[in-house]
Structure 1
Amino acid sequence: MLAVLFLVAAADTPGIVQTDIIQPPKLRNAAKVLSYEDYPDAALREGAAGVVSVALRVSSEGNATSCAITETSGYEVLDKTTCQLMLRRARFDPARDAHGAPVSGDFHAATSWGVGATFPTTNVKLDLNVNQLPASYRGPVKATVLFGETGRVIACDVSDSSGDASADQAVCAYATRQLALAAPRAVGDLVPAVAVRYVIASLHLQQPPRHD
């Protein structure tokens, strides 16, 4: 199985969030960018698997103009295939600035290549106990998270709210404090290393201790 998870983040250079962008680039055709049929035959035969994180530069016209490998899978064929297909197939609505004008920005994506037991996950599932559930809480928080060159969180963006803004913020704060990865390796000396992961965090009411 091949899974593709996309994270939107706007930046001047890959991995550095651009603060004047109000609406980052939006991928219009996520389901059509990559599929299992795209798995390179040579990689399948060799059992090559891994996660590839990339930063696509998206122009103000919505075209992907460049692709940088910010986290290598360790296999050149998987890295190159990811960039080639995303540049060829991805279609975007461009980023927008505070005035609503289209501007260029970066779109970060993580792609998992693997089959069966070799399939690496890009999901991070969290179960967090709280003393009180917010009244407006309706379900798990989904957030896309960027990990920098040290493996620590450098950005957290809520993609699907729990229904409560304070709960969403608390999840990102927890992720920033507690989550870490092995330091990602980029391809190229001038490319900042950035790994993309997808956090799904559920809040649970902490049960009081029993006194028998």
Structure 2
Amino acid sequence: MRLRNVKGAKEKIEGDDYTIKLPNEKKGIWKDVFGNDNPIHIEIGMGKGKFIMELAKKNPNINYIGIEKYSSVLVRALEKRPELEQDNLYFIRMDAEDLNEVFEEEEVARIYLNFSDPWPKERHAKRRLTSVQFLERYNKCLDQDGLIIFKTDNRELFDFSLEQVELAGWNLENVTYDLHHSEYAEGNVMTEYEEKFSKEGKPINRMVIRRKRG
């Protein structure tokens, strides 16, 4: 994925009050950051932030953390942050591989994965955010009833993800190959990509999986 460089993005991120600069120092104490015991939901690869911003507005009793690897993308989310009146949303610029350096065991209640990079080459399969390797990372930080909600327009990635869920021993709660024409469409919050793809008539795949026990 080729990204357009945004001049001054790193400086804006460094000066932003809602971007956590040393997230590994918050491991195990994220409730102190938010000042409450509300459940923590995270989005990995949040893009420009439309999805997580809308969730934060609708659910003031849930704490949200948006994770984005690229400064030039994260800075666009920061531009939207002033629209949110409550303090239940923070951001982290980091690679998802470092997730367990930032969140303690059972510290997260839910993870959202939306239109993740498919990494189409087979040799890059371990980099896919729904690979067995990443599911193991999620399993460590999710609580006992922790969920992952994954949406994508990429059917090959979705089929791969279903295989990985079984291999990793997770539980498949529900699945649809056409979200917007399914029983799960009500209450669905769309991302920027989702709005674009749905207007083009592309079906959206979605699965909800629950962490393995034991």
Q: Higher relative contact order at CA 8 Å, sep ≥6: structure 1 or structure 2?
A: 1
Q: Structure 1 length normalisation: TM-score?
A: 0.29
Query: Which structure dedicates a bigger proportion of its chain to helix?
Result: 2
Structure possessing the higher radius of gyration over alpha carbons: 1
TM-score by length of 2: 0.28
